[in-house]
Structure 1
Amino acid sequence: MKFLRQIYESLRFAWQALKSNITRTTLSLLGVTVGIFAIVAVFTIVDSLERSIKDSLSSIGEGVFYVQKWPWGFGGEYQWWKYFQWPSPSNSEYKFLYDNLEKASAVAVMDFKGSTTVKNGSNSYEALIQGVSYEFDQISEVPLEKGRYFMQQETTNARNVAIIGAEIADVLFPNQEAEGKVFKLAGRKFTVIGIQERKGESLVDFGGSPDKKCIIPYTSFAKMFQSGRPDPDIVVKGFEEDKGLIEVEAEVVGLMRTKRGLKPRDENNFSINRPEAAAEAVSGVFAVLTLAGWVIGSFSILVGGFGIANIMFVSVKERTNLIGIQKSLGAKNYSILAQFLFEAVMLSLVGGLVGIFLVYLLTFVPLGSLQVMLTPGNIILGLGVSSVIGILSGIIPAMMAARMDPVTAIRAK
C-alpha cells in the first residue's frame, strides 16, 4: 500500500512538473522524443527490409543449394576471369546427379528467359519464363490458386503446358477463367493447367515475381530457348537430419568432379551457392544501418537527457522546503530518492512514448512495396532506452534531494 501511494505521489509530482512550465518541459523532452524516434524508426525500417528480403530468399528454397557456374560474390575479390572459363552446368549433369545422389531429398534443374511475349488474341504480356523439372515443387513452393502442378509425363515428354501468374491471367484472359485456356508463347500454343496465388508487389523478388512468371516444363524450355549455350541451375535439397547440408554437399561435389573428369589436384570448376549466404550478407548490411541509427539517435537522446536533468535540478530546488517537511515527518532517504528518480523516469517515458507514437504513424505512410511494421520488440526497446535515460538523468538530482538536511531544507526559501 505504501509503495502504491509512493507511485501515486510520484506521478502527481511528475504531472505538476509537466504542467508548471509546458514550454520548458516540451523543449527539454524534445531531445528524448527525437532520439527514440530515430532509433525505433531505424530499427523498424531495417527489420521490415530484412524481413522482406529474407521472405523473398526463402521463396527460392529452404535447406537447398544451387550448383552453378558463377559463385555469388559477397565481399572479397571476385575472380570473374577465372569463373568465366568454367563450363556451365548441363542437363546431362543434372540427370547424373538425379540418378546417383543418395543424400538428397530432391534434385531439380531450372532456367529463365526474361521479358518474353505471351499472347492470347490481341492481349499480350511481357512475362518471365521459367523452365523447371518435375521435382521443382519439392525444392520451392508453387502455391496454386487454381489448377494443378505438372505431371511427370508432361515434364519428361516436353508437353506444352504452363502454370501462369495471376497478373498474366488477368491480362491474357480478362473476365474469364484462365484454367484450360490456350495462349501462345514464342509462336507455340500452350495450355494453362494452373494459376499461381497472387503475391502482390515485393521490395525484392529473387527469381522474379510469381505474378509475372510463366512456368513451363524444362524439356519444353530447352527446345525453345536453349539452342545456343544453355546455362541452367541445378538445385539440390537435403534431408532435415543433414544439418548444414554437409553430407549432401560433399556428395554433390564428388559426383560433379567425377562427371567432369577432374583430377585430385584440380580445383572445382563449379560453384555451390547457398541462399543463407545471401541472407548473412544482407544481415551484415543491416547491422551497419542499425549501428548508424544508434549513433544518430544517441546524440539526440544525450541532449534530451541533459534536458531532463535540468528539469530535475529545478524541481529539487523548487521543492526543497517540501523535502525538508517530508523528512521531518519521517520520510526515509530512499523514499525521497525513489520519488525524484521515478519522476525523472516518467518524464523520459513521456518523451519516449511520443517518439514511438511518431514511428507508429510512420507505418501508415505508403513506402511502395515495403510494408513497415512496428513490432512489440521495438516498442519495448524504445521504452527501455527511455527508462535508462530517465534513470541516468535523474540519479544525481535525486541523490542530492535524498541527502538534504531536513532542518536546512525547511529553512530554504
Structure 2
Amino acid sequence: MSDKYYRNTVLDVNLKAIEKNYRAVQGINPEKTLIAVVKANAYGLGAKAVSEHLAEAGASFFAVATLDEAIDLRMHGIKQKILVLGTISPEHINKAIQHRIAVTAPNLEWLKEAKSEVNDRHDKAVWIHIKVNTGMNRYGTSDLREIETMINEINSFSRFIYEGIFSHFTSSDEDNDITAAEFNLFKDIVNQVERPEYVHISNSGGALTLKEDFTTAVRSGIALYGYYPSEYTKAETAVKLNPGVRLSTEITAVHHLEPGDSVSYGRKYTAKTKETVATLPIGYADGLLRQHNGYKVKLEGGADCEIVGTICMDALMIKVPEQTNAQEKVIIIDDQENSDQSMESYSNYTGTISYESLCSFGRRIPRRYTGKDIELIYNEVIN
C-alpha cells in the first residue's frame, strides 16, 4: 500500500462517519444481525479499509458479490463471517470451503452440482444460504418443493450447513405496495420450511424503513456510506446518515480567454466576453463523466464554477473568477448533505444514483481515510 500520490485529486473517505452510519442502522434493528455489504470494493471506497474499521467497531458479518471479493477480504485479514450474495460456479465450492466463506444456493441444480464437486482436501463444512426469488427474477427460486428438497440435500450432507435463507426487495426505496407483497411471499415460504439461523430480506431501504420482527438479519450497503437509497427512504426514516465521501482537487492551470476563444475538444464552448478558465486534473477516466458538462464545482473560497467545454479523459476546465490562481482547492463532491455539490446533486445531474457514482470512481484517485488516529492513504496505481 502506497501512502503517496502525485496528482492533487483525492477521495476522502470518513471512516468515523461510516461507523456512525453502521451504528445508526443497527440502532433501529437492535435484535437483528447487521450484515455490512462491502461488495464492489465497498462501493468504490476500499473494502479492506472499510471492513477493517467496521470489524474493529464490532461488525461480525460482511457480504460481497463474488467469491473473489470474499477471498480478497480473507487474504487481508478479515476473520468475520462473509457471505457471497451472488452465485459462484459450483466447481469453485472448495475455494469457499478453504477460506470459510458462506455461499448462496440459487436452486436445486446448483446445489447438487456443488455437492458433487466437494473434495476431501479441506476437511471443513461450508455455510449455505438459500436464495428465494420474490420478484427480482435475478437469482433464486420461489418453488416451495424445490426449497424443501434443497434443505434436505443440505442437511443430509455433512459438508454443508444450512445457515440462511434470504431474498432481496426490488422496490423498498419507493412508495408502493410491492415491498409488502414481496415480504408476504417470503414469509409464506419461510414459514413452511425449516427456519435457519439467518433469515434476511431487507436491503438499506428495508433496513431503514421496515419495522418487522420476522427476520433475524438485515443487510446494508449504501446507507453505511452515508446515502439514502432514495428521497422517499430519507423521508420515511428517522435515521440521520452522515455522508462519508468528499472528492476534491486543485487547479493546475489558468487561462484568460478573449471573446471568440474556445475550450477543449470540438471547441464546443466559446467565450462571448473576456473570461477565465481553470484546468482541473480529473476526467472521465476517473469517473467524472462527460455528461457532467455544466455541473458546478466549488472553489474552497466559496464560488460555484461551471464545467465548460468537453470533459477530457484526464482533465476538465471550469469557468472561474478572474483573480483565481493555480493550486486553489476545488470541491467536486462535498460531504455536506445539503450542499450544491452533495453526492445526490452530483448524481442527479447525470440522471443516475449515488450507488453508480460511488462505484465509478477510478483507480487513479487515491483514497484518503480519515476518522482514525492516523491518516491512511491508499493509491492503487503505485500499490
Assess same fold via TM > 0.5. no
Shorter-chain TM-score tier: under 0.3
TM-score where L is the length of structure 1: 0.24
* Larger-gyration structure (1/2): 1
TM-score where L is the length of structure 2: 0.26
Structure with more contact order per residue of length (Cα contacts < 8 Å, sep ≥ 6):
1
More helix by share: 1
